[in-house]
Every structure is written in structure tokens, then in C-alpha cells.
């Protein structure tokens, strides 16, 4: 059990570190403002948080307080999204307004906006958990998370930026696989029957 947990932690650490290190080597960073770089890297961190969330909710690491860490990681994900959007807002307010109003011409923008709103919905549902019927809450939270994962992966994949293609692809596949595994293990969709 301890060896398994250690291996999972190593994989999660690499899932965070390798894409960030690879993105840090991008020549596209040379002419960017620090706030723009922070915004972009917070997007990478947010994508990696989705992997952690899936591993936690699937109870893949016995003996750790998965639910408590899941809550804190969820808060970290919300913060990463806020930093990502706020940083982009500071560097180019008109572009962010276009994204938020779903009138930006780039397809990745629409997927990013959908992901952001779905993150906020999932966080709201998490905060209101005790006030909602458990079955309805599980279904709603699972649906919101499915939208978050799907739209975030599509958003990340479509962005032609500092994130290196191989590490981006690997992280996206890991997030999709772990999320599907977690949803299946939690049997979240049984509520529809």
C-alpha cells in the first residue's frame, strides 16, 4: 500500500513538473510579460489539478484523507482558474471580454469559457453539498466535472502556446483516462437510471 501510494505521488509530481519545465523552455516566453507567463502556467497547474482530483475521488491511495485533500485541491483548481483568467484580463481585457461573452473567434476560447463556468458550478455545488439531496448533488457535481474535464482538455489541446505538444498530450490523456476511471469507479451515472 505504501509503495503504491508513493508511486502514485511520483506520477502526480511528474505530471505537474514535466509540463511546467517543458513550457518554461518555450521560446515564446521571451517577449511575454511576467503576468502573462503566470497566467499561462496557472492554466497548466489547473490541468494537472484535474488529474489529482480524479485520483483522489477514485480512492486510489488508501490510507490518506482523500476527501479532505479533494476539497483543498478543488479550491486550488478554482484559484488556478481565477489566476489564469485574471492574468489574461490584465494583459488583454478586450480579448477576455470577448471570451466571456462567447464572441471570441478562436475555438479554444469557447472551450476555455465553458470550462471556467463549469469549474465555478462544480465549486458552488461542492460548497452547497449539505443543502442538496445527495443523489441530486452527486449527479450535478459529476455532470459539472465531466464538462470541466472535457472542455479543459479540448481548450488545452487547441491552444498553440508555450505548452510543449508531447507533455500537453500526455497530461491531457492522463486527465481523461483518470477522470473516466474515477467516474466509473464511483458509479456516478447510476443516478440516471
At the topology level, CATH places domain 2-192 in 1.20.120
Predicted pLDDT of residue 126: 94
Longest dimension (CA), the chain: 53
> Quick one: average pLDDT of 48-57?
95
**14-28, 61-75, 177-191: which has the minimum mean pLDDT?**
177-191
For the chain, the structural domain boundaries read: 2-192
pLDDT of residue 193 exceeding 70, the answer is: no
Q: List Cα–Cα distances, 74 to 49, 52, 89, 96, in angstroms.
A: 8, 9, 22, 23
Does 1 score more than 80 pLDDT? no
Output the nine-digit C-alpha cell for 120. Answer: 465555478
CA atoms of 192 and 177, how far apart (whole Å): 22
Task: Report the mean per-residue pLDDT for the chain.
Answer: 92
* SS3 label, residue 182: helix
Q: At residue 92, does pLDDT exceed 90?
A: yes
Q: Name the DSSP letter for residue 159.
A: -
Is residue 135 predicted with pLDDT exceeding 90?
A: no
Q: Exposed (0-12), middle (13-18) or buried (19+): which is 93, by Cβ within 10 Å?
A: exposed
User: Which pTM value belongs to this model?
Assistant: 0.92
> What is the structure's pLDDT at 189?
54
Amino acid at each position: 500500500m505504501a509503495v503504491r501510494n508513493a508511486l502514485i505521488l511520483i506520477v502526480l509530481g511528474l505530471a505537474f513538473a514535466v509540463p511546467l519545465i517543458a513550457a518554461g523552455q518555450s521560446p515564446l516566453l521571451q517577449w511575454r510579460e511576467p503576468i502573462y507567463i503566470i497566467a499561462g502556467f496557472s492554466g497548466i497547474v489547473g490541468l494537472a489539478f484535474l488529474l489529482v482530483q480524479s485520483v483522489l475521488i477514485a480512492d486510489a491511495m488508501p490510507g490518506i484523507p482523500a476527501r479532505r485533500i479533494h476539497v483543498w485541491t478543488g479550491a486550488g483548481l478554482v484559484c488556478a482558474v481565477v489566476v489564469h483568467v485574471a492574468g489574461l484580463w490584465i494583459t488583454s481585457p478586450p480579448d477576455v471580454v470577448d471570451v466571456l461573452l462567447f464572441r471570441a473567434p478562436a475555438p479554444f476560447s469557447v472551450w476555455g469559457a465553458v470550462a471556467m463556468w463549469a469549474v465555478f458550478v462544480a465549486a458552488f455545488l461542492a460548497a452547497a453539498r449539505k443543502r442538496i439531496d445527495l443523489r441530486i448533488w452527486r449527479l450535478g457535481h459529476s455532470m459539472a466535472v465531466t464538462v470541466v474535464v472535457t472542455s479543459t482538455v479540448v481548450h488545452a489541446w487547441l491552444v498553440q502556446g508555450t505548452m510543449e505538444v508531447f507533455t500537453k498530450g500526455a497530461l491531457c490523456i492522463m486527465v481523461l483516462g483518470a477522470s473516466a476511471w474515477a467516474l466509473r469507479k464511483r458509479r456516478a451515472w447510476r443516478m440516471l437510471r
